[in-house]
Amino acid sequence: MEPLSTPYIFYLAGIFIAFFCSLLIVGKRKKVTADYILALWFFIIGIHLALFLFIFSGEYERFTYVLGVEVPVPLIHGPMLYLYVLNLIRQNKSKYYGYLHFIPVMIIYFTLFDFFRLPSEDKISVYRNNGCGYKDLRKYVSILILVSGVVYTLLSFLLVREYKKKISEQFSNTEKINLNWTYYLIVSIALIWVAVFLKNDLIIFTLVVIFIVLAAYFGINKVGILNPADIQEIHKKEEKVNVEVVPAKYQKTSISEKSLQLIYQKLNERMESEKIFKDPELNLNQVAEMLNVHPNTLSQTINSIENKNFYDYINRKRIEEFKRIAVLPENQKFTILSLAFESGFNSKTSFNRNFRKYMNCSPREFLKSQNVNLE
């Protein structure tokens, strides 16, 4: 028995990890729709790698019944990525809409029906002769795969970008809403589609295995696959924004400039007198309820007068508060981070990022310029 070659072992490892990730996700206690989609996607990737390995190793001549099954499988990955992102950030409620994305796959399988009925010798002959008799179909499928990859990768990226903008309009702290996992997926898939353009199966499936390994590390060990609960909590808060604030008559009325100025004045008064920005969980809904206006109206007020979204407006207030209390003599015994938390931030990362954004320097550099020395 010949020893397994390095590429062979590499692909076997990728198959094992894909199936293992799928089982790990299914084994979660609290699962949402996005989890099921991701588990199914990893399972399909494992099957796809296994089918490729059959062909790459020449074993397909012994298992001719699987020949042709792999042809439309690449068309599955784009829709799976898109549906995962869609359900993760929007909680898509439609049970049937997702099936429409797989119509091209079913059409190709239907077109291959005659091929599946061929005797084993004829199937092997087709593969040995680079798809002889099916070259037109291969060309159309290749074009469709490229288009599918570009379209679904772009759509997924736009979904995430739109959602990040949306949460910045509603929440003052977005640290819990970690969408880095989706960016890892999208960028990784994009790189694989670049390899598809090169038309080199070895490069493509090597990148797929690398993608699986990275997905297992970042998704399971860091964030994403096993921790979507924070995003689910955000969805619940978003629903409250739409139903519990004020009477419907205020929701779609046109707001005059004078009214916006009055709302803005009331907003600043509450910020100065009560310092409500110190609440790290403060969101647009809560502030709108305090002011007895609809969240959309409050968001419009901040956008038009401050030229900022809710997230930027509140965090600018927090930075100003930190600057104020950090130079007070009685606060010299505290650390930078404790004063940042006192100002309303809920993490060191968020504080440092926002401070640099508004002050163009680090907190330590600012304090040094003020002759203040904090730990």
Instruction: Please state the separation of Cα 76 from the chain's center in Å.
Output: 18
pLDDT at 259 over 80: yes
- The predicted-structure confidence for 291-331, as pLDDT tens digits, reads as follows 899 888 888 899 888 888 888 999 999 999 999 998 888 88
pTM comes to 0.72
- Among the ranges 10-19, 53-62, 172-181, which has the highest mean pLDDT value? 10-19
Sequence-distant (6+) residues with CB within 8 A of 307 are none
Query: Which CATH number, 2.40.50, 1.10.3470, 1.20.120, 1.10.10, labels domain 313-375?
Result: 1.10.10
Please give the full DSSP string across 15-42, using - where no structure is assigned.
HHHHHHHHHHHHT-SS--HHHHHHHHHH
CB atoms within 10 A of CB 307: 9
Rounded distance between C-alpha atoms, residue 183 and residue 281, angstroms: 25
In this predicted structure, what is the pLDDT of residue 79? 93
Residue 110 has pLDDT above 90, yes or no: yes
C-alpha 375/C-alpha 365 separation (Å) is 12
- Type of residue at 205: F
Could you tell me the residue ranges of all domains in the chain? 6-234, 244-307, 313-375
Structure tokens at 344: 């309303």
